[in-house]
Amino acid sequence: MKKFENMLLISDIDGTLIGHSWEISKENIQAATYFMENGGFFSYATGRQTHVAQKIIDQLKPNAPVICYNGAAIYDYLDKKYLWSAPLENDIAHIITDIAENCPNVNIEINTADYIYVLKQSASSFPRYQRLVPLFKIVDSVNEVPLPWLKIVFVMESDYMPVVRSYVESQPYYKDFQFGQSASFLYELLSFGINKGSALPHLVKNLGHINKTIAVGDNENDIELLRAADVGYAVADASPLLLSNFTNIAAAREDHVLADIIERLDKNLI
């Protein structure tokens, strides 16, 4: 039996493995490769749309399907197909309209399996869209966006986030959906109860014979994932909310968190 057989190590991407450069360190790549070569399953749990995650996949190819859209889908990059998804209800256009009207400094993105549809655009977030070309399309109305929708992303300047959260959390529809912050400038809407943690059992079932799951993340949208795993780690430079919820702390992103966790596994410290 190989050293890491029947183990699944699953990592968030943004803020955990990479920063603005979108580059995974060679230390993390070497460690994850060693982990997989010795029987372990490695994967990602990300808020990214599948095609947007491709640059990360190309640097460090996982040997297991990937949780994407913050838990709304599981995608197999080897076979290029979705294995599972939990799309939003079809009648939520009124919620998007309400937030757009009452939070005017927000850009709205609708994520489908193929594209990111942008309903609003402002100079402050234009670099984000520039980077995602040709994976996004600007539209004038939600009626132009084909169903099903996997998640909605509200993009804003970080200092506007409290305003948006305060408004949304005061609305009657808040309790009927999964709202959550995935970055200082991103607030997301998914189907009720859908998150990275709720997707994890579907991934484990697909793999079969997993005896231990280890997860690592850095932000609010990783909380359920870390709780669902057998062992959940927050990176040392995680958000204060995540650090206040977990006692297992791994190395900071810049200090190669995968290498740190895999070293601990190698020494039977986990």
Domains of the chain by residue range: 7-86+195-266, 93-191
Mean pLDDT along residues 108-134: 75
Question: Which candidate, 260, 185, 180, 169, places its Cα nearest to that of 216?
Answer: 260
Question: What does the pLDDT look like over 177-201, one tens digit per residue?
Answer: 999 999 899 999 999 999 999 999 9
Output the pLDDT for position 138.
84
| Per-residue confidence (pLDDT) for residue 131, from 0 to 100 | 65
pLDDT at 262: 98
Is 93-191 the same fold as 7-86+195-266? no
What number does CATH give the domain 93-191? 3.30.1240.10
Compute the average pLDDT of residues 232-260.
Answer: 95
Please say if the pLDDT value at position 120 is more than 70. Answer: no
> In this predicted structure, what is the pLDDT of residue 60?
98
Quick: pLDDT tens for 217-234: 999 999 999 999 999 999
The count of other CB atoms within 10 Å of the CB of residue 196 is 32
Q: What fold characterizes domain 7-86+195-266?
A: Rossmann fold (3.40.50)
Cα–Cα separations (whole angstroms), residue 138 to 80, 125, 190, 220: 26, 13, 21, 28
Q: Please state the rounded mean pLDDT for residues 25-42.
A: 98
Q: What is the mean pLDDT of residues 143-171?
A: 95
What mean pLDDT comes out for the span 135-141?
Answer: 84
Of 174, 79, 83, 58, whose CA–CA distance to 69 is shortest? 83
Q: What is the mean pLDDT of the chain?
A: 93
pLDDT tens for each residue of 74-91: 999 999 999 999 999 988
Q: What is the mean pLDDT of residues 30-39?
A: 98
> C-alpha distances in angstroms, 184 versus 156, 162, 220?
9, 10, 10
Q: What is the pLDDT of residue 163?
A: 96
Q: Which of 90-94, 127-131, 248-252 has the lowest mean pLDDT?
A: 127-131
The predicted model gives 162-173 an average pLDDT of: 97
Across 151-165, average pLDDT: 95
